[in-house]
Amino acid sequence: GNSVTQMEGPVTLSEEAFLTINCTYTATGYPSLFWYVQYPGEGLQLLLKATKADDKGSNKGFEATYRKETTSFHLEKGSVQVSDSAVYFCALSGPNTGNQFYFGTGTSLTVIP
Amino acid sequence: ETGVTQTPRHLVMGMTNKKSLKCEQHLGHNAMYWYKQSAKKPLELMFVYNFKEQTENNSVPSRFSPECPNSSHLFLHLHTLQPEDSALYLCASSPTSSGRAKDEQYFGPGTRLTVT
């Protein structure tokens, strides 16, 4: 079946620290992979995506590379800011998932000055 | 208004009440979705509508009743809910619900529902 597993939080970092949030997936076929971000009091926003193996999605200093061999899509940022404090969701969707998006449980990130 | 809006933002209801959640999208999309977000659990897809037709019902209890009168509006009618139904209910839209177009989902801010 299809599923997404991401690291449990919460994660607390100091400003300018390096961020990694791990995400691995199980899927049939070749899904697209996504990272969504949810700021307090808001809905989910698409942060970045990758649609095929070895693609790198990037946005706002965040990056994630679609690794088929390790079935992973880890989110990274070289230098986090206080404004990056939010909940981050890894997700997959694809031709074999019908109408479904499969989301992870979310990882809460707090960045302290 | 732009994007996806949801009203009310917060709702407290008793188990015998009937209430409705409203979602409106201003993006010209044809597919709309209801999700349930509970603490420590993945988002759960509840319903999908494509061109006003329901295309997905993920074994949702009948106390949740969706309605999609047109491609811009989506409602979730609630009656005789249970305390475990307390959650954040998110609405989303996408150009269509199939193919790559479904991958561009835009979410509303959600309605925080508390059932007492």
Kindly identify which residue of chain A lies nearest to residue B108, measuring between CA atoms. A43
Residue B39 is predicted with a pLDDT of 82
| Partner-chain contact A32 B103, CB within 8 Å | yes
Phi, psi of A3 (to 5 degrees): -160, 160
| Partner-chain contact A99 B56, CB within 8 Å | yes
CA distance A66 to A61: 17
pLDDT of A24-83, one tens digit each? 999 887 888 999 999 988 889 999 999 889 999 999 999 999 999 999 999 999 999 999
Mean pLDDT of A9-38: 93
To the nearest whole percent, how much of chain B has pLDDT over 90?
63
Q: Does position A96 have pLDDT exceeding 70, yes or no?
A: no
Those residues whose C-beta lies under 8 Å from the C-beta of residue B83, and which sit 6 or more positions away, are B15, B115, B116
- CA neighbor of B42 nearest in space, from A3, A47, A38, A49: A3
Contact residues, chain A, for B90 at CB < 8 Å: 43-44
Smallest CA–CA separation between A93 and chain B, in Å?
Answer: 7
Contact residues, chain B, for A32 at CB < 8 Å: 100, 103
Question: What are the CA-CA distances from residue B96 to residues A57, A60, A73, B82 (Å)?
Answer: 23, 27, 25, 32
Residue A102 is predicted with a pLDDT of 86
Tallying the residues shown for chain A, one arrives at 113
- CA neighbor of A75 nearest in space, from A45, A42, A36: A36
Q: Does position A9 have pLDDT exceeding 90, yes or no?
A: no
Those residues whose C-beta lies under 8 Å from the C-beta of residue B95, and which sit 6 or more positions away, are B29, B30, B31, B101, B102, B104
How would residue A22 be classed by pLDDT, with cut points 50, 70 and 90? Answer: very high
How would residue A99 be classed by pLDDT, with cut points 50, 70 and 90? Answer: low
Q: How far is CA A10 from the centre of its chain?
A: 14
Chain A touched by B10 (CB under 8 Å):
no
pLDDT of B53-100, one tens digit each? 888 777 899 999 999 999 999 999 999 999 999 999 999 998 876 666
Q: Does position A97 have pLDDT exceeding 70, yes or no?
A: no
Kindly identify which residue of chain A lies nearest to residue B89, measuring between CA atoms. A43
**Helices (DSSP H) in chain B: which residue ranges?**
none
What's the mean per-residue pLDDT of chain B?
89
Q: Are B105 and A92 in contact (CB under 8 A)?
A: no
User: Among A101, A102, A105, whose Cβ lies nearest the Cβ of B41?
Assistant: A105
